Amino acid sequence: MTGPAPVQVSTRKAGSPALRIAEAIGLLLDRLAVTVATAAVVVIFFALMAEVVVRYFTSAGLGWPNEVPNLLFPWLIMGGIVAGAQRGAHIAAEALRSMLDTARLRLLLMGINLLVAVSFAVLAWLSLQVIAITKAQVFPMTGLGQAWAYSSLLFGFGGIALAALVNLVRVACAADPRLVHHTETEHMT
């Protein structure tokens, strides 16, 4: 999740305002996703550690730390998924990509990114219904609504849709769409 972010590849068309905006949004999205995932891990760890320490010294628990993973684990997962989508760190069909020329590959990747953006935007919209339904369900110790945990769906699906739009612009502006997500270490091999 905190691996190397994609490097600015020199094969992109320089000076495109759309590309500069997309790159800025992509960088912001990547940092937000990593921050969300990291914060979730840290808070879960310290909450559970506090429960262990209190239980060790008092033979009684705090209670609320047991609910923290239920609240924050979905955020951890969605943060990782959004960072992976933004970085292009997902499973790709390399055989098909290698059989297409640059122009056809560009069209294919733009179509895929557009389809992903629309699909996940719809899922983000539908997640608002899930959030509304779960507002009434409350965790007993913290008093927080389960809608908090389900809000991670909106973040994740919306983040993937936004990452797909950023990647669509990257592919459209790239001289070679095969190199859009290559990292510095991949160029060395």
pLDDT of residue 8: 43
What DSSP designation does 13 have?
Answer: P
Per residue in 121-156, pLDDT (tens digit) is 999 999 999 999 988 888 888 888 888 889 999 999
Mean pLDDT of 88-95: 67
d(CA 90, CA 160): 12
Domain boundaries, the chain: 17-181
pLDDT of residue 14: 54
Residue 184: pLDDT band (50, 70, 90) is very low
Percent of the chain at pLDDT exceeding 70: 85
Residue 90: pLDDT band (50, 70, 90) is low
Per residue in 43-56, pLDDT (tens digit) is 999 999 999 999 88
- What residues form DSSP beta bridges with 174? 12
pLDDT of residue 36: 96
Residue 35: pLDDT band (50, 70, 90) is very high
pLDDT of residue 189: 39
Of residues 139 and 34, which shows the higher confidence score?
Answer: 34
d(CA 36, CA 34): 5
d(CA 75, CA 29): 14
User: Would you call 145 helix, strand, or coil by DSSP?
Assistant: strand
Task: Point out the least confidently predicted range of 31-35, 146-150, 173-177.
Answer: 173-177
Q: Name which of 131, 15, 28 is nearest 86 in CA terms.
A: 28
d(CA 174, CA 33): 24
